[in-house]
Structure 1
Amino acid sequence: MKKNIKHFFLLTALAAGTIHFVNRFINMTADIKNILKAENGNFYDWKNGQIYYTKRGSGSPLLLIHDLNPVSSSYEWCKVIRKLEKKHTVYTLDLLGCGRSAKPYLTYTNYLYVQLVTDFIQNVIGEKTDIIASNESISFVTLACNMNKDLANSIIAINPTSLKELHITTDKYASVKKTLLELPVIGTFLYNIKVSNTNITKYFREEYYARPQLVSSKLIDAYYEAAHMNFSHGKYLMASMEANYTKNSIEHALKKLETPIYVIESRNMKDAIAIADSYKKTNSGNEIVYLSNCKKYPQLEVADKVVEAIDMFLK
């Protein structure tokens, strides 16, 4: 009996050591191509950690906010920024828990990002701006602009998350997943599996792009690198997202919002028309443009069409 127990603990220690080695190897090699070069930008010393941002071009300010996802970063705007900076002073940032920004061990909530957007506009941009928000980021941008009318002239939402999905709240099962992901060794290992090169490639080919043949290896490498920066601490954001702490109903804010919202929706997305219509019904002042041959990230897949839509709205 004692011999079996000894073997059990020995195998457990060996497995833990192997997992730890795998985690360390991933952390050491993930950014070897150095696609997301931090020297091209600056850092805003926010109260919860340093926020990486860039500032380019000249003209009226325009803030680009990427999708809230631990694999995402401001690299999401790489194909539109050069065209936008010809007419605007374009700001991009990596959200807390993403890319080159800090990834502290804390519970990431929707209101945390409301504070980040508010503080960034007030302390870095210093004046009213136009905001472009991708997917789930529309939730905290909407709430921030509803709470402070001096933040934005307009909001452009690219494939905003459905109002129904944003209404989802946490439960005990989601909290268990959060706790599991936050564990030092096994949690990091599970996170590394979720954001592996294989899984990121799968998401882009099946869910993010309408034409998978356009998905480049450099694009996958950039998202993989973003996910594993800062010792894979993007797991803390993922843990909070799994528990639905980053979601918040915005219907009440949309109804009262004085800042106009323009929606860019991809026809190839599931329930695209229904989602766009729900935003329109909640606030009749919203305008919608539909794009073809693209899915979740049209700013990467059909960049020229997105720039045309943005120019039309901002005029």
Structure 2
Amino acid sequence: MMLQHNLRHGSCGKAFRPRATPPPFQAILPRVSRPVRLVALAAADAGVNPFAATSSTSSSTTQQINPASSSSSDEKYGWSSHIWKWRGHTIHYKTAGCGEPIVLVHGFGLSSFHYRRNIPMLAENYKVYAIDLLGFGKSSKPILQYSMELWRDLLLDFNAEFLGGKPAVMVGNSIGGLACLMVNAASPPDAIRGTVLLNSAGAMNNKGVIGDWRILAVYPLLLLIDFLLSIPAVSAALFNNVRTRDNIRQVLQNGVYRNPSNVDEELVEEVFAPSCDPGAREVFVSVITGPPGPKPWALMSDVKGPLLVLWGDKDTLTPADGPVGRFLKALPERRPETTFKMLEGER
């Protein structure tokens, strides 16, 4: 019982002496400037269908992964791996550190490993939770209709289950950023301490990026791709081509990281391995072909507390001059609690 309480509410034990907790973004800002633009194996950020209108009660089953069977990265990066049963599915997440909670949410096609460089440093001052969203990483990949609402409900239940009533700083990259905005908008004011967006997506796939001439120019092609992906033989061939180690390495080096030296074999393997899981192809298809979901500007009236937006100036997948980047860059003029910071240079 004590173990489950500690896992849920972040108890660090008597031997741990955390530093004084800084303001919500003081420690985050200098630490998230490492590569944060890990995105999909495909060129587009993901999109999904509505799944559930309301959040169901989550399971309370929590288990720390046996150290003997956990990844060597646990010891290397100083985090612990856990599994949690949610709506009958297995959710994998990592924890590290002690203090006020930070919840890290990855982008499409990735996992909590996306934050391997950030977790150890953030854990110096915070209790860090990094989750593998349903359908990604080491979490289950059930065949169902994925949606932003599904992931929003997952994160809301996760916070209720593990944070012990403490307000969280939500940090999200790509579609994880949009998920964090949705969690913020759906949470009571005392549940959110702040929100950080890292090159945030503005929709679940490129079909929802309204106002970008680059997307409008290829919109008919996107619709054709949706049709082709509905054919199992075609989607299987495409997915198997996209998920090869060589292709993953090439995409990471040429399209995701502006500094190719940041792409090592450990990273390639962490992206490749989940693609071999049963259901991975179906998740890929559901995400790519689904409706785009809510737009950031539609959520802003309900977003509470400080909002920090970080954007890499070399990002070509979600460029700062796109409609989402332009909207968020101008947001501080209309919303004083918003800070926009451009991260310059190759990372």
TM range (shorter): 0.7 to 0.9
Q: 1:279-294, aligned counterparts within 5 Å? A: 279-282=328-331, 284=335, 285-294=337-346
TM-score normalized by structure 1? 0.72
Say whether the 8 Å CA contact 1:195–1:224 is kept in structure 2: yes
- Which structure 2 residues correspond to residues 66-77 of structure 1 after superposition, within 5 A? 66-67=106-107, 69-70=108-109, 72-77=110-115
Alpha-carbon distance between aligned partners in 2 of 1:117 and 1:269, rounded to the nearest angstrom: 27
Structure-2 residue corresponding to 1:167: 208
How far apart, in 1, do the equivalents of 2:145 and 2:157 lie? 19
Give the C-alpha shift of residue 174 in structure 1.
5.7
Q: Residues 154 and 260 of structure 1 are in contact (CA less than 8 Å); yes or no, is this contact kept in structure 2?
A: yes
Scaled by the length of structure 2, the TM-score of the pair is: 0.66
* Contact kept in structure 2, 1:62 and 1:129, CA below 8 Å: yes
Amino acid across the alignment from 1:236: E
| Deviation of the 1:138 alpha carbon | 1.5
The residue type equivalent to 1:192 in the other structure is N
1:133 aligns with 2:172: yes
How do 1:70-85 and structure 2 match up within 5 A?
Answer: 70=109, 72-85=110-123
Equivalence map 1:154-303=2 (5 Å)? 154-162=194-202, 165=206, 167-168=208-209, 173=224, 175-180=226-231, 183=232, 187-228=235-276, 230-231=277-278, 233-245=279-291, 247-270=293-316, 271-273=319-321, 275-282=324-331, 284=335, 285-294=337-346, 301=347
The corresponding residue for 1:46 is 86
RMSD: 2.8
For residue 292 of structure 1, what is the amino acid of its counterpart?
Answer: E
Q: Which amino acid aligns with 1:222?
A: E
Deviations 1:266-290 (A, max 9, x none): 0111332554341143452321122
1:65 matched residue in structure 2 = 105
Aligned to 1:99: 137
Size of the aligned set, in residue pairs, is 255
| Structure 1: 5+ residue stretches without partners | 1-33, 295-300, 302-315
The CA distance in 1 between the partners of 2:303 and 2:194, in whole Å, is 11
* Aligned-pair CA distance for 1:116: 0.8
Distance across 2 between alignment mates of 1:238 and 1:251: 26
Alpha-carbon contact 1:108-1:246 (below 8 Å) kept: no
TM superposition shift of 1:81 = 0.8
User: CA shift at 1:97, angstroms?
Assistant: 0.6
Structure in which a larger fraction of residues adopt helix: 1
Unpaired segments ≥5 residues, structure 2:
1-70, 211-218
Pairwise mapping of residues 10-25 of structure 1 onto structure 2 (< 5 A)? Answer: none
Query: Can you list the C-alpha shifts for 1:246-284, whole angstroms capped at 9, x where unaligned?
Result: 532231212331232201110111332554341143452
2:135–2:141 Cα contact (<8 Å) kept? yes
Separation in 1 of the partners of 2:87 and 2:308? 31
> SS at the partner of 1:279?
helix
The answer (yes or no) to whether the contact 2:146–2:286 under 8 Å persists in 1 is yes
Work out the percentage of aligned pairs sharing the same amino acid: 18
Cα gap change, 1:238/1:49 in structure 2, threshold over 3 Å: closer, same or farther?
same
> CA 1:188 to 1:36, structure 2 compared with 1: closer, same or farther past 3 Å?
farther
Q: What residue number does 2:184 align with?
A: 145
Read off the aligned partner of 1:101 and give its amino acid letter.
S
Q: Secondary structure at the match of 1:176?
A: helix
In the alignment, which residue of structure 1 is the partner of 2:37?
Answer: none
CA distance in 1, matches of 2:141, 2:291: 16
What is the deviation of 1:106?
Answer: 0.6
Decide which structure has the larger Cα Rg and report it: 1
SS in 2 for 1:200: helix
Q: Which amino acid aligns with 1:156?
A: V
Q: CA contact under 8 A between 1:178 and 1:240: conserved in structure 2?
A: no
